[in-house]
Amino acid sequence: MKIAPSLLSCDFSAMGAEIKRMDEAGADWMHLDVMDGHFVPNITFGAPVIKWVRPYTDKPFDVHLMISDPLKYIDDFADAGADIITFHVECDSDIDKTIDKIKSRGILPGLVIKPGTPAEAVFPYLDKLALVLVMTVEPGFGGQSFMADMLPKVGAIKAECARRGLELLIEADGGIGEATIAQAAAAGVDVCVAGTAVFKAADAAKAIALLQRIS
Ligand code: DX5
Ligand code: ZN
């Protein structure tokens, strides 16, 4: 299981140092939550900030776009150094065009589903995707409670991928920590995002190692 610390819970006055801290603590990917205050009721940061912090690690940048019109901004996030771009199937952009644009820039594309969206919503796009991100909280804020009832979607997506001979990664995001990660692992999740559980821990390296061990 890969652990992707969510920078949403970092000290933003020292974002570069926080990324370096997570790199040294053993993070697999860096998860960057981009919010536009429109698709979700919160605003975080955009491509310029990601570009500034990109040199602080060689680990993959997993950019989670919680924005209404991702297609418009793919070039900006590609230029900023994203390795993986996930965007919501509930957004306003054309889904196929957005996936194609991400791929044209040599970036791994992923679709995200909110808690109210069924697994089947991503099925038409599975052939073109590298991963699917299943939200285990309502997107917008860190520190919320894990929704275990989202996990059957992981099984449904994995079963559909197996049926079609596809090898996608499944990522889960929201409320994941030492009390919940075993459930995500049992459901077949490959990559877990963890904000609060890692950034608020006294020792981030211990927290990441514990999550990797129990998953
Ligand atoms: C929520 C974000 C998550 C969030 C996870 O909209 O997508 O990445 O920061 O934070 P925790 O682990 O605290 O739930
Ligand atoms: Zn996220």
* 173 is a catalytic site residue: yes
* pLDDT (mean) for 181-207: 98
Whole-number pLDDT of residue 42: 98
Q: Tens digit of pLDDT for each residue in 53-75?
A: 999 999 999 999 999 999 999 99
Whole-number pLDDT of residue 31: 99
Tell which CATH architecture fits domain 2-214.
Answer: Alpha-Beta Barrel (3.20)
Gap from CA of 127 to ligand 2 centroid (Å): 23
Whole-number pLDDT of residue 132: 99
* Per-residue confidence band for 112, with pLDDT thresholds at 50, 70 and 90: very high
Give CA–CA dist 59/164, Å, rounded.
30
Gap from CA of 164 to ligand 1 centroid (Å): 31
Q: Which residues of 132-156 are buried (b: 16+ CB within 10 A; e: fewer)?
A: bbbbbbebbebeeebbeebbebbeb
Would the CB of 195 count as within 6 Å of ligand 1? yes
Gap from CA of 6 to ligand 2 centroid (Å): 6
Q: Is 38 helix (H, G, I), strand (E, B) or coil?
A: coil
Residue nearest atom 9 in ligand 1 by C-alpha distance: 142
Whole-number pLDDT of residue 183: 98
Of the candidates 184, 128, 129, 132, the residue with the CA atom closest to the CA atom of residue 158: 132
Give CA–CA dist 197/26, Å, rounded.
14
Residue nearest atom 4 in ligand 1 by C-alpha distance: 142
Mutate to test the pocket of ligand 1, among 193, 196, 198, 211 (most ligand atoms within 8 A of CB): 193
Gap from CA of 163 to ligand 1 centroid (Å): 31
Catalytic-role residue among 11, 33, 58, 83? 33
Give CA–CA dist 211/60, Å, rounded.
19
Q: Is 200 helix (H, G, I), strand (E, B) or coil?
A: coil
* pLDDT (mean) for 183-203: 98
Would the CB of 176 count as within 6 Å of ligand 1? yes
Q: Residue 6 carries which DSSP code?
A: B
Whole-number pLDDT of residue 43: 98
Q: Which residues surround ligand 2, an ion (CB under 5 A)?
A: 33, 64, 173
- Burial of 14 from C-beta contacts in 10 A (0-12 / 13-18 / 19+): exposed
Domains in the chain: boundaries: 2-214
* 149 is a catalytic site residue: no
Q: Among the bound ligands, name the one nearest to the CA of residue 196.
A: 1
Gap from CA of 2 to ligand 2 centroid (Å): 14
Mean pLDDT, the chain, rounded, equals 98
Q: Which atom of ligand 1 is nearest to the CA of 176?
A: 12
Q: Is 156 helix (H, G, I), strand (E, B) or coil?
A: helix
Q: Tens digit of pLDDT for each residue in 130-164?
A: 999 999 999 999 999 999 999 999 999 999 999 99
The strand ranges marked E within the chain are: 2-5, 30-35, 61-66, 84-88, 108-113, 131-135, 169-173, 191-194
